[in-house]
Amino acid sequence: MDIRTVKQRFEIIGNSPMLNRALDIAVQVAPTNMSVLINGESGTGKENIPKIIHAYSARKHAPYIAVNCGAIPEGTIDSELFGHEKGSFTGATDSRKGYFEEANGGTIFLDEVAELPLQTQVRLLRVLETGEYIRVGSSKVQKTNVRVVAATNVEFSNAIRSGKFREDLYYRLNQVPVYLPPLRDRKEDIPLLFAKFTSDFAEKYKMPSLELTPEARELMVNYSWPGNIRQLKNITEQINVLEQERTISADTLRYYLPHEGFGAGGLIVAGQNSASAQNFTEREILYKVLFDMKNDLNDLKQLVSGMMQSGSEFVHDASNAELVQRVFAPENNSHFTSPVAAPAVIRLPQTSNGTGNNEQHIHVEESLSLQNSEKDLIERALKKHRNKRKYAAEELGISERTLYRKIKEYNLAK
């Protein structure tokens, strides 16, 4: 079977080798009865693979049922999958067939299969191994002939290790693994997908298609797209509806790209796993600043305490210059990784303990107001970049819209 024919039939856009490999495996395994496990991040289009497998199998004229396991409450999942008898639980006014009975002879797609409760996993394993199941509230064993295709965005090794998923069920589901790559690993497909989406939305909303400037195209290709194809489609629709100008610049595009796809300092995160990428939200940046400040103050406490215990005087020299610089003169730190809202005040009062020895205590007053730190950060960024908000927002790692809102909130407009 030609992969191009499969793409045309199921409207799959892209030519990346990893995508082609996934489609090729789906077509090859379709004529068999082997179970297939599709792995990939949310929004990568995993739902297309079971449709392809079903369409090119001998079961294509039998039912195809897709079930989102994560959307069904734990108390009713067994009834949904395997059916129930009348009176088996409160509200069971009639007998009901389950999905495995309805899909007999066909294909059932279990999306988010890792969300299944352990009790349901035992029932599913029995169906996969023997084709047998029992309705809830019944003792009669029934048979079904169903092809199971499952999908997940969960790392199974962790789920198995933590006891949330049965290892024997995993190997039974994973007879043939299929991996769908995230969009950041399919850079060459991003412009093709954007062109397809903007064409569709232009037709839907009766308006001209969008065009990207070279800079906007580069920004779009190198953005990490944590929401993958679904996110790209949603953002393309937003731009089509909200922007009057049909040629989109990089600055305009940046308004629509959530901060989750950027790294610290506004740098684009590409080619990394989203779980390990160093993405910072606005709130996380502020917390990091406060924790850094707290650590600096603790270090300073230890330094002064050590000198007091040894009886030596505090000398500001090269050995402690960096620490003092960070704590007392943050305005000179061009990276402003550890600014403080107000300078720390160190008091060293001497008290008598009645034996003639003077014991010195260190008390540090710290200003840890989140609001003050946030305002201070914004003021420093604006000052550093001469009130150029675009660059200040990039330095802070937030969007320009968020910066505008904060400037208004703190009355910082010049």
Give per-residue pLDDT as tens, 162-200: 999 999 999 999 999 999 999 999 999 999 999 999 999
Phi and psi torsions of 339, nearest 5°: -75, 155
Domains, the chain: 3-181 (3.40.50.300), 185-265 (1.10.8.60), 280-352+359-414 (no CATH)
247-248/211-212 β-pairing: parallel
Burial annotation 308-335 (CB, 10 A radius, 16+ → b, else e):
beeeeeeeeeeebeebeebbbebeeeee
Question: What local confidence, expressed as pLDDT, does residue 383 receive?
Answer: 84
Q: How far is it, in rounded angstroms, from Cα 165 to Cα 155? A: 11
Which residues, at least 6 apart from 317, have a Cβ–Cβ distance to it below 8 Å? none
Each residue's pLDDT tens digit in the chain (414 positions)? Answer: 689 999 999 999 999 999 999 999 999 999 999 999 999 999 999 999 999 999 999 999 999 999 999 999 988 999 999 999 988 888 888 899 999 999 999 999 999 999 999 999 999 999 999 999 999 999 999 999 999 999 999 889 889 999 999 999 999 999 999 999 999 999 999 999 999 999 999 999 999 999 999 999 999 999 999 999 999 999 999 999 999 999 999 999 999 998 766 654 344 444 333 333 333 344 445 545 555 565 666 666 666 666 666 655 555 555 555 555 555 544 444 444 434 434 444 444 444 444 444 444 444 444 445 667 778 888 888 888 888 887 787 777 777 777 877 887 888 875
Phi and psi torsions of 182, nearest 5°: -70, 165
Burial class of residue 61 (count of CB atoms within 10 Å of its CB; 0-12, 13-18, 19+): exposed
Q: How far is it, in rounded angstroms, from Cα 159 to Cα 113? A: 12
